[in-house]
Every structure is written in structure tokens, then in C-alpha cells.
């Protein structure tokens, strides 16, 4: 089907919630996407930090096809090996508590919000300015952005917003607080690593008040910043974290992972999901972790991230670069127009998180030559 035919179908039959670019992708391999005419595009967005193992990684494809041919779904009333093995791996490789599987990032945060309120009845949830936690009602209520929230009022009550300031955070946390939610690196609002001082203040305030510190690692986890989990780069350990995006190697799975203290708060009947943790997506996640949970790959993420950030900083018009591993944001005027030109003229897939920030999220298996090629294409898009 031609692009024009797809656009006609969208116009007539699809709710107009997405501003799509006029490009149809039909195939992907590694860091490359191919359109309907066979043109290759260098993918430095990875489906928003989802295809971190690259497109159609053979190890993930094998795990998924083998599992799909054996058993696809049973509901969570029964046991399947991929889910139990994945839970063990996620728990042992991070906070050491227990795991609840979901189908998406927003759902992982919903589970975390329910868990926090179950631990402290009626408690407030403290979030910081610039946060993005998802689009469902609980997650949206934790996302203090006027344009996203206002049309959908009334929201879920009991959310408190504070500036990214240690003193303001400390002042907002009390015996009334159920949890503080933080993204160690804020993604959707322009790649903002939160200062270590703020993370430390959150940890201390939560300890003093008996509240839970919950990290949203949906975008910055699973190797993106050069450690398997973003919290592992700092001295601050949360009580629970949420994951999704890259967790499934391109397949939809999310998880709430707790530490020991919160492992037994949710009880039978408290929460559930029909699809979540199904054998196919759990097998995909296991295979994706085989690829990413590798010290050599994570060291490459840190090295190539530095190379990419240094290259981006030299581009004309770039005022500031913020980077953690292969999560890179560059401030410059006209970022959305630059992203559009990079895509349509240079066949480089990148995006803008707002009017002033270009965001680069290449797959973690990217090579040095591809990093350099992306910089060449960005420079060309900038000088067009």
C-alpha cells in the first residue's frame, strides 16, 4: 500500500492523536530502518528508547518465534517459565525485592502509585517539575504539564508538585507522603539528569518520613545511560523502580520492581492485568537482557555516548548538551524543524522534545561509524 493510501486510511479511520511524519517503514535491522521504497534511514530514536537492542535482533527474534510457536497466553492464573525467570532476573539484578509485570510504562507507574497508597493509606505522591510519567489517569496526574493535564480534569487527587530544588522537596515530604516519584534522568522534557543533591535529599526525606522513593526508569533504564539501571550510577537507591520501553527488546512489557521493604505490600486481588508478563513478551525481555546486561556493551554505551555528545556540542547553534550514556539532549533554536529536516532530507531519525531540544536515543548496539555518520547528517540538516 502506498503512503498516500495509508494517509487516507488514517484520515478516515484513526483517531487523530498523533502528528505522523510522511514516512512508511517496512523493515528494520540493527540501527537502520527501511522505507517502502527501500531507502535506508539511520535510527537515532529507537522508537523512543524502545529498540535498544536494534531492530529485529536475531537473539530476540529467535526467543519470540520459538515461544510464539509453543505457547502465547494463559492468564496470570497459571505459571509460565519465561515470566518467573524474568522476575528472578530483574529482582536479582536490581533492588532484590519482587516484580509486578505490566504492558506499558504508564501501567507500571499506575502499579507503583497503587502500591505507594496501599503502603500509606491516602498518602500524597510528590513529583517534581518537568516530570513525565505517562498518559493514563494516575500517571497523568503525576505529570505536571498544563497542556497534557488541563483538558482532562478532574485528575486523581493527592499529587503534589515541587520545583527541582532539594529544600523544596524536603519541605514537601512529611508523614502524609506516600511516595516521591522521580526520573533520575527526565526524558520527555528534554534530557535533564536530576542533580545528585536532589536525589540525596529525596532519599533522606523519604527515610525520615517513612515514605517510598520510587524511580521512573522507563526511559533511562535498561542500559540507556551506561549502567543497567540509571540509579546504579549514583549512591542513591530507590525503594522501587518502574521499567518498560527497552525492557522487551521491541515488544510491549513493563515492570514495577520493588526492594525488600515494599515486596509484600500488594496482596492477592489488589492489582492485576490480563496480558501482562505473557510468555512471548517475557521471553523477548529475557533475550533483550541477554544482549544489554553485558559489561562490555555498557562500557561501549558510555564511550559512544561521550563521542556523540562531544560531536553534537560542536554543531553550529548548539548552546548546551546534556548526556548520560546514549541519552543525549542538545539545546538549540528550531529543534523540531531540524528534526524534520534530518528525517526527510538526511534520512536520520531523531526527535525534538520541545521547541529548543533535540533528543538522540540511538540503539545501544550502535557502532562508532554510525555515530559519526549521524553527526555528518545532523550537520548537513543544520546547514540546509
Ligand X SMILES: *Cc1c(COP(=O)(O)O)cnc(C)c1O
| Contact window for ligand X (CB under 6 A) among 24-32, 91-99, 112-120, 213-221 | 213-221
CA 320 to chain centre: 22
Q: How many residues bind ligand X (CB under 6 A)?
A: 15
CA distance 36 to 361: 23
CA distance 27 to 360: 21
Nearest distance in Å: CB 360, ligand X: 15
Nearer to ligand X, 218 or 382 (CB): 218
What would the x/- binding string for ligand X be over residues 175 to 194, using CB under 6 A? --------x---xx------
Nearest distance in Å: CB 316, ligand X: 29
What would the x/- binding string for ligand X be over residues 70 to 109, using CB under 6 A? ----------------------------------xxx--x
Which residue among 132, 159, 181, 251 is the active-site one? Answer: 132
Which triple of cell numbers denotes residue 182?
Answer: 522521580
| Contact window for ligand X (CB under 6 A) among 2-10, 164-172, 211-219, 275-283 | 211-219
Nearest distance in Å: CB 217, ligand X: 8
Residues 241-260 that bind ligand X (CB under 6 A): 244-245
132: annotated active-site residue: yes
Nearer to ligand X, 51 or 104 (CB): 104
Instruction: Show contacts of 192-198: CB within 8 Å, 24+ apart.
Output: 192/130, 192/164, 192/322, 192/329, 193/322, 193/324, 194/128, 194/164, 195/164, 195/166, 196/234, 196/235, 196/236, 197/166, 198/128, 198/164, 198/165, 198/166, 198/169
132 makes contact with ligand X (CB under 6 A): yes
Please tell me whether the peptide bond between 213 and the residue prior to it is cis, using omega within 30 degrees of 0.
Answer: no
Q: Which of 218, 263, 304, 326 binds ligand X (CB under 6 A)?
A: 218
77: three-class secondary structure by DSSP: coil
Per DSSP, 251 falls in state S
Nearer to ligand X, 219 or 346 (CB): 219
Cβ-proximal residues to 67 (8 Å cutoff; 6+ apart), any chain: 82, 279, 280, 283, 284
Which residue among 43, 44, 100, 216 is the active-site one? Answer: 216
CA distance 290 to 293: 6
Nearest distance in Å: CB 34, ligand X: 25
245: annotated active-site residue: yes
| Contact window for ligand X (CB under 6 A) among 128-136, 164-172, 328-336, 360-368 | 128-136
114 vs 138, 153, 225, 279, CA distance in Å?
9, 20, 28, 25
36: annotated active-site residue: no
Contacting residues toward ligand X, per CB under 6 A: 104-106, 109, 132-134, 183, 187-188, 216, 218-219, 244-245
Amino acid at each position: 500500500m502506498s503512503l498516500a493510501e495509508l494517509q487516507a486510511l488514517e484520515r478516515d479511520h484513526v483517531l487523530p492523536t498523533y502528528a505522523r511524519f510522511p514516512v512508511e517503514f517496512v523493515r528494520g535491522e540493527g540501527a537502520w530502518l527501511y522505507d517502502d521504497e527501500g531507502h535506508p534511514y539511520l535510527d537515532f530514536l529507537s522508537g523512543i528508547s524502545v529498540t535498544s537492542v536494534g531492530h529485529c535482533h536475531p537473539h530476540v527474534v529467535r526467543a519470540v518465534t520459538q515461544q510464539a510457536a509453543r505457547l502465547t497466553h494463559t492468564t496470570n492464573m497459571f505459571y509460565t517459565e519465561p515470566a518467573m525467570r524474568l522476575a528472578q532476573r530483574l529482582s536479582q539484578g536490581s533492588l532484590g525485592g519482587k516484580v509486578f509485570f505490566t504492558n506499558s510504562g504508564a501501567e507500571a507507574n499506575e502499579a507503583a502509585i497503587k502500591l505507594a497508597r496501599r503502603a500509606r493509606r491516602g498518602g500524597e505522591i510528590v513529583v517534581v517539575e518537568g516530570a513525565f510519567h505517562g498518559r493514563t489517569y494516575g500517571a497523568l496526574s503525576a505529570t505536571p504539564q498544563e497542556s497534557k493535564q488541563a483538558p482532562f480534569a478532574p485528575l486523581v487527587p493527592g499529587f503534589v508538585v515541587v520545583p527541582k530544588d532539594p529544600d523544596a522537596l524536603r519541605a514537601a515530604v512529611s508523614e502524609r507522603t506516600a511516595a516521591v516519584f522521580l526520573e533520575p534522568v527526565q526524558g520527555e522534557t528534554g534530557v535533564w539528569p536530576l542533580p545528585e543533591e536532589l536525589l540525596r535529599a529525596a532519599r533522606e526525606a523519604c527515610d525520615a518520613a517513612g515514605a517510598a522513593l520510587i524511580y521512573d526508569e522507563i526511559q533511562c533504564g535498561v542500559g540507556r545511560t551506561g549502567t543497567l539501571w540509571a540509579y546504579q550510577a549514583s549512591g542513591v537507591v530507590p525503594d522501587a523502580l518502574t521499567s518498560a520501553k527497552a525492557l522487551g527488546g521491541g515488544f510491549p512489557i513493563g515492570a514495577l520492581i520493588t526492594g525488600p521493604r515494599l515486596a509484600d505490600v500488594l496482596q492477592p486481588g489488589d492489582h492485576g492485568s490480563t496480558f501482562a508478563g505473557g510468555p512471548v513478551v517475557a521471553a523477548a525481555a529475557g533475550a533483550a537482557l541477554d544482549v544489554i546486561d553485558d559489561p562490555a556493551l555498557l562500557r561501549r554505551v558510555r564511550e559512544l555516548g561521550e563521542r556523540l555528545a562531544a560531536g553534537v556540542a560542536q554543531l553550529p547553534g548548539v548552546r548546551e548538551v546534556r548526556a548520560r550514556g546514549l541519552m543525549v539532549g542538545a539545546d538549540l533554536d528550531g529543534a523540531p524543524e531540524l528534526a524534520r529536516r534530518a528525517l526527510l532530507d538526511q534520512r536520520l531519525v531523531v526527535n525534538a522534545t520541545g521547541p529548543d531540544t533535540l533528543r538522540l536515543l540511538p540503539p545501544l548496539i550502535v557502532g562508532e561509524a554510525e555515530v559519526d555518520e549521524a553527526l555528518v547528517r545532523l550537520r548537513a540538516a543544520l546547514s540546509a
